[in-house]
């Protein structure tokens, strides 16, 4: 039976590039050199979420005064895996797999080079605000042997995306996405069709079949409810394009209310996007982070009311964006979108590269 929105069959394999590795050092929080922290949803400007305000059909065929320097929101982390993509039978071009992007996006330079037809502007929700950007029509996107037709793609500056484009949840939502963190590789599987990205994948390895049940968010995100932070039930979602995990202020307040000492706020850190949007994040430590039955223990965490929490309807509920720092604690992370499950496998010992909080 044909799969709506996708072309191709059989086993297909493609060798792809990783899009950078993050050094998660303590000094990273004290003013990165424009290649540092992604606080929110992929791309540099804080527009990487790429969620049009008006619902869009999927492919029809297949605060200031703080004591540290501002942190630039840029893309640079090991979970950014680049896929070889053909657009309208031209390419290959490098598109980054991004579970924080609701919609597949394209760089302005590539859209201009390919003379892609202009569509109406779309409203895109970023880290700190919503903004309007132009969009273009992509008749056919090919990911190795898989093809998707009739995509509407927001357009951003290439420097903001850090690649020729982003593959968002409008495409990823049809797959099982597996990150092999140790090998810095990833694979996409759809009913026996597999695309392998990055390092060598061990196809014969044993994979845990159990996972955390998820519900689907308004833009295709997998929302997890079996997460607790210092005993506080928390809604969480995974953003593979975010270097660090960030809780909202509702989560911080709930944690503080549970603690006799009122919480461990270490310091505030200003973060901003390249277009000038800014906000402050509270850098702190939680004592007991759990993803399902897996206990991660004491964990450094940022807290801020990102625009994405409001967009997802999570402003008033304790919520957590899970970024690469937490994904990197496991050997393997699998997001099975059709089955609505997320599996975290092989908890790794925390290394000296973990963020340290002075005075905590």
Q: What is the dihedral of CA 51, 284, 214, 179, to 10 degrees?
A: 80
Q: How confident is the model at residue 309 (pLDDT cuts 50, 70, 90)?
A: very high
Q: How confident is the model at residue 179 (pLDDT cuts 50, 70, 90)?
A: confident
Confidence at residue 144, expressed as pLDDT on a 0 to 100 scale: 67
Q: Average pLDDT, whole number, for the chain?
A: 72
Residue labelled with tokens 């990150």: 179
- The conformation of residue 2, written as its DSSP 8-state character, comes to P
Residue labelled with tokens 């606080």: 39
CA distance 257 to 263: 8
Mean pLDDT of 92-97: 90
Give SS3 for 220. Answer: coil
pLDDT tens, position by position, 38-90: 322 333 223 333 333 343 444 444 423 333 333 333 333 455 677 889 999 99
**Which of 93-97, 103-107, 159-163 is the least confident region?**
159-163
What CA–CA distances, in Å, run from 171 to 113, 235, 261?
A: 23, 24, 46
- The conformation of residue 201, written as its DSSP 8-state character, comes to -
**Which of 160-164, 259-263, 316-320 is the least confident region?**
259-263
Q: For 211-347, CATH number?
A: 2.40.70.10
What CA–CA distances, in Å, run from 109 to 103, 163, 202, 224, 226?
A: 18, 10, 36, 37, 42
- H helix intervals, the chain: 108-113, 158-161, 169-172, 249-258, 307-311, 324-327
Asked, colleague to colleague, whether 82-190 and 211-347 share their fold, the answer is yes
Residue 151 parent element (H or E) = strand 146-156
Contact by Cβ (8 Å): 260, 329: no
CA distance 41 to 353: 22
Closest CA to 179 of 239, 227, 101, 92: 239
**Which of 60-69, 138-147, 256-265, 324-333 is the least confident region?**
60-69
Domain ranges of the chain: 82-190, 211-347
Name the CATH superfamily for 82-190: Acid Proteases (2.40.70.10)
Residues in the chain: 360
Confidence at residue 205, expressed as pLDDT on a 0 to 100 scale: 35
For Cα atoms 204, 207, 212, give the angle at the middle one, nearest 5 degrees: 160
CA distance 348 to 103: 32
Confidence at residue 106, expressed as pLDDT on a 0 to 100 scale: 96
Q: How confident is the model at residue 272 (pLDDT cuts 50, 70, 90)?
A: low
Confidence at residue 279, expressed as pLDDT on a 0 to 100 scale: 76
- 327 phi and psi, to 5 degrees? -60, -35
Contact by Cβ (8 Å): 248, 257: no
Q: How confident is the model at residue 350 (pLDDT cuts 50, 70, 90)?
A: low
CA distance 232 to 256: 10
Residue predicted with more confidence, 273 or 314: 314
pLDDT tens, position by position, 185-235: 788 887 655 555 554 433 333 334 468 999 888 888 899 999 999 999 999
Q: State the chain's maximal CA–CA distance in angstroms.
A: 61
pLDDT tens, position by position, 121-160: 998 876 667 789 999 999 999 986 788 999 999 999 998 8
pLDDT tens, position by position, 12-22: 222 233 333 32
Percentage of the chain exceeding pLDDT 90? 33
């Amino acid at each position: 039976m044909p799969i709506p929105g996708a072309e191709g069959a059989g086993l297909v394999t493609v060798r792809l590039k990783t899009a950078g590795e993050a050094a998660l050092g303590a000094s990273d929080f004290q003013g990165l050199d424009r290649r540092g922290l992604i606080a929110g949803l992929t791309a540099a400007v804080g527009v990487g979420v790429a969620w049009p305000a008006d619902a869009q059909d999927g492919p029809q065929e297949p605060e200031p005064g703080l004591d540290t320097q501002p942190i630039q929101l840029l893309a640079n982390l090991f979970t950014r895996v680049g896929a070889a993509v053909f657009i309208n039978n031209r390419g290959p071009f490098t598109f980054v797999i991004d579970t924080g992007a609701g919609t597949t996006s394209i760089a302005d330079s590539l859209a201009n080079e390919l003379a892609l037809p202009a569509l109406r502007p779309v409203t895109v929700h970023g880290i700190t605000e919503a903004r309007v950007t132009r969009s273009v029509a992509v008749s056919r996107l090919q990911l190795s042997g898989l093809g998707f037709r009739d995509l509407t793609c927001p357009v951003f500056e290439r420097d903001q995306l850090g690649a020729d484009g982003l593959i968002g949840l409008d495409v990823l939502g049809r797959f099982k996405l597996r990150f092999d963190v140790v090998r810095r590789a990833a694979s996409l599987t759809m009913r026996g069709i597999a695309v392998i990205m990055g390092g060598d994948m061990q196809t014969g390895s044993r994979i845990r079949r159990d996972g955390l049940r998820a519900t689907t968010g308004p833009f295709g995100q997998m929302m997890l409810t079996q997460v607790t932070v210092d005993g506080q039930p928390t809604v969480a979602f995974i953003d593979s394009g975010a270097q660090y995990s960030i809780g909202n202020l509702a989560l911080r307040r709930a944690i503080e209310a549970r603690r006799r000492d009122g919480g461990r706020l270490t310091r505030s850190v200003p973060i901003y996007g390249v277009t000038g949007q800014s906000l402050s994040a509270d850098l702190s430590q939680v004592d007991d982070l759990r993803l399902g039955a897996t206990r991660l223990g004491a964990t450094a965490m940022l807290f801020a009311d990102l625009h994405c929490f409001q967009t997802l309807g999570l402003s008033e509920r304790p919520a957590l964006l899970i970024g690469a720092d937490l994904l990197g604690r496991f050997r393997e992370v699998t997001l099975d979108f059709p089955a609505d499950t997320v599996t975290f496998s092989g908890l790794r010992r925390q290394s000296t590269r973990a963020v340290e909080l002075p005075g905590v």
